[in-house]
Structures are given as structure tokens and as C-alpha cells.
């Protein structure tokens, strides 16, 4: 009888350890569309520190501009934004058009209007943003811009 109770006790403890282990691995993933919106807001608001928190922690981030030039590492992207954010005249408005969600990588299609200042004509472009899940946070790993030419 005593041995049977010991076996039950050990089995119960073992099951509890398994349940705790499973529960700790079941961390909820942040909402992807909300993460994209937060990233875009950091740019619209010229908030460099918040922007850094949306970028990959690796140095492998690429940004390709509408004309084809490229920033090929994360630090170059941070440096670009640091300089760009000092200009208080530009206006950047975005609309998330579509999201494609995966388990570890997801992509957003964004349409944006950019103006050099309030009195200049807006230019439009498509933006494809690819994020990767890093430490339970969606982080930007690729940013591709494509100019939308006006119809003649």
C-alpha cells in the first residue's frame, strides 16, 4: 500500500512538472498586424528609439529604396533613419493593405504617401515589409519599396 502511494505521488509530481514545462513553452505570439502598425508609427513619428525595437537584433536587415539603392545591414538602416528623422518637414502616411502571416516569418503589404513638405505633391509607393519572430517579438528583416508612377 505504501509503495502504491509513493508511485502515485511520484507520478503526480512528474505530471505536474510536464504541465509546467508545457505551459512555459506556450508563450503567446504578439499580433502581427499590430506589430506592423507600431513599426510604421515609429517612422511617422520620427521615434528612433522605438524604431530600433522593431528591427531585427541581427545585422542582416535590408532596405531597398524605390530607385533601387540598398542599405544592406541593420546599423546602416539605423544611421539612415537617425539622419532622416532630423528633417521635420516630411510627411509619411501609411495604409496596411494586406498581411500574410506565418509562424516565424510574416509579410505586410503597405501603401504609402510621402511628401517632402506640406506644400509639395505626394509621391506614392508600395512597401513590402518582412518580419521574423525573434524572442517573442516581430522584428523587421526586409523592407522593399516600389514607386507607383502616376498614370499619364
Residues 26-40: tens digit of each pLDDT: 568 899 999 999 999
- Cβ atoms of 109 and 127 within 8 Å: the answer is yes
Q: What percent of the chain shows pLDDT beyond 90?
A: 79
Nearest to 69 by CA among 145, 148, 149: 145
Which residue's C-alpha cell is 511628401?
A: 115
User: Model confidence over 75-110: pLDDT tens digits?
Assistant: 999 999 999 999 999 999 999 999 999 999 999 999
Terminal C-alpha separation, the chain: 90
Give 152: exposed, middle or buried? Use CB within 10 Å, 0-12, 13-18, 19+.
exposed
In the numeric block, which cell numbers belong to residue 66? Answer: 524605390
CA 59, CA 45: separation in Å to the nearest integer? 24
Nearest to 138 by CA among 50, 33, 58: 33
Q: Are strands 91-100 and 70-71 parallel, antiparallel or unpaired?
A: unpaired
| Mean local confidence (pLDDT), 31-60 | 98
Residue 7 has phi, psi (to 5 degrees) of: -65, -45
Cα 82–84–86 angle (5° rounding)? Answer: 75
Predicted TM-score (pTM) of the model is 0.80
Alpha helices in 1-152 (DSSP H): 2-25, 32-44, 48-52, 74-84
Which pLDDT score, from 0 to 100, does residue 29 have?
83
What CATH number matches the domain at 31-148, 3.40.50.150, 3.40.50.300, 3.40.50.620, 3.10.450.50?
3.10.450.50
Amino acid at each position: 500500500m505504501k509503495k502504491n502511494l509513493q508511485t502515485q505521488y511520484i507520478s503526480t509530481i512528474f505530471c505536474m512538472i510536464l504541465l509546467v514545462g508545457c505551459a512555459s513553452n506556450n508563450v503567446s505570439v504578439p499580433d502581427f498586424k499590430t506589430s506592423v502598425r507600431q513599426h510604421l508609427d515609429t517612422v511617422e513619428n520620427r521615434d528612433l528609439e522605438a524604431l530600433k525595437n522593431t528591427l531585427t537584433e541581427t545585422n542582416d536587415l535590408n532596405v531597398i529604396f524605390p530607385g533601387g539603392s540598398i542599405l544592406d545591414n541593420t546599423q546602416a538602416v539605423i544611421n539612415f533613419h537617425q539622419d532622416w528623422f532630423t528633417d521635420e518637414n516630411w510627411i509619411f502616411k501609411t495604409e496596411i493593405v494586406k498581411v500574410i502571416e506565418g509562424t516565424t516569418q510574416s509579410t505586410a503589404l503597405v501603401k504609402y504617401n510621402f511628401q517632402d513638405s506640406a506644400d509639395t505633391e505626394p509621391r506614392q509607393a508600395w512597401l513590402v515589409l518582412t518580419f521574423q519572430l525573434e524572442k517573442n517579438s516581430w522584428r523587421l528583416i526586409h523592407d522593399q519599396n516600389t514607386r507607383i508612377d502616376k498614370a499619364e
